[in-house]
């Protein structure tokens, strides 16, 4: 069985948000068009407590884009974003949330970030997503969302490592591209790991 996984399609990750992904809102109509085609739709939601360790504001003298050690792993520092119960953490207003069957919240531990919808960045704690999917007979996931080079990439690579088949909807994702070409490199890495990367109009 296939399930659709919508990664972090939240207000803070689209233009006008605290951490806008360029053209990030363009993934919403792609996600909405795919949603009715699946019997199970899961959405991940970045859900940080105030003062999360991935925020540059939690590290005096540091600025977004710098890298620090957080929980024993390299951590890019970001602007404060997707703070629990704040408007920026909500799903995009145009996203078909009525079609979402299950939400996985991540990034809740202030001491380590969680790009992946499956694990924190140190792979010490899982979110319960893998068990949920298996309980529902899912062996393949179709992924779209934000951002290609961070949370989508981490989610896809973890899914492959857990034995799920993965299809990435390329035009249903957008990249941060902190360094030029990061998004394309991430897509290449996902392909190399065995994921199919296709445009939405080729998905059957």
125 classed as catalytic: no
Determine the Cα–Cα distance for residues 67 and 56; give it in Å rounded to an integer.
Answer: 10
Task: From the candidates 8, 25, 120, 149, give the one annotated as an active-site residue.
Answer: 8
Spell out where the chain has E strands: 2-7, 41-46, 67-70, 73-76, 102-106, 140-146, 165-174, 196-198
Q: Which phi and psi (to 5°) does residue 6 adopt?
A: -100, 120
Q: What is the DSSP letter of 148?
A: I
Residue carrying the six token digits 């995009």: 92
144 classed as catalytic: no
Task: From the candidates 82, 144, 151, 173, give the one annotated as an active-site residue.
Answer: 151
Determine the Cα–Cα distance for residues 204 and 186; give it in Å rounded to an integer.
Answer: 24
Task: From the candidates 12, 106, 113, 158, give the one annotated as an active-site residue.
Answer: 106
158 classed as catalytic: no
Catalytic residues: 8, 106, 151
């Amino acid at each position: 069985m296939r399930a659709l996984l919508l990664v972090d399609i939240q207000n803070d990750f689209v233009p006008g948000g605290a951490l806008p992904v360029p053209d990030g809102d363009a993934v919403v109509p792609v996600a909405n068009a795919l949603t009715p085609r699946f019997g199970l739709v899961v959405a991940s939601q970045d859900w940080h407590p105030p003062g999360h360790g991935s925020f540059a504001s939690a590290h005096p003298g540091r600025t977004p884009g710098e890298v620090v050690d957080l929980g024993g792993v390299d951590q890019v520092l970001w602007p404060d974003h997707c703070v629990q119960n704040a408007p920026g953490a909500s799903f995009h207003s145009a996203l078909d949330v009525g079609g979402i069957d299950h939400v996985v919240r991540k990034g809740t531990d202030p001491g380590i970030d969680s790009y992946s919808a499956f694990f924190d960045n140190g792979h010490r704690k899982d979110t319960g997503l893998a068990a949920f999917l298996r309980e529902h007979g899912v062996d393949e996931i179709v992924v779209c969302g934000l951002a290609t080079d961070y949370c989508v990439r981490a989610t896809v690579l973890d899914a492959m490592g857990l034995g799920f088949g993965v299809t990435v909807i390329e035009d249903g994702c957008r990249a941060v591209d902190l360094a030029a070409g990061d998004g394309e490199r991430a897509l290449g890495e996902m392909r190399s790991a065995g994921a199919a990367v296709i445009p939405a109009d080729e998905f059957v």
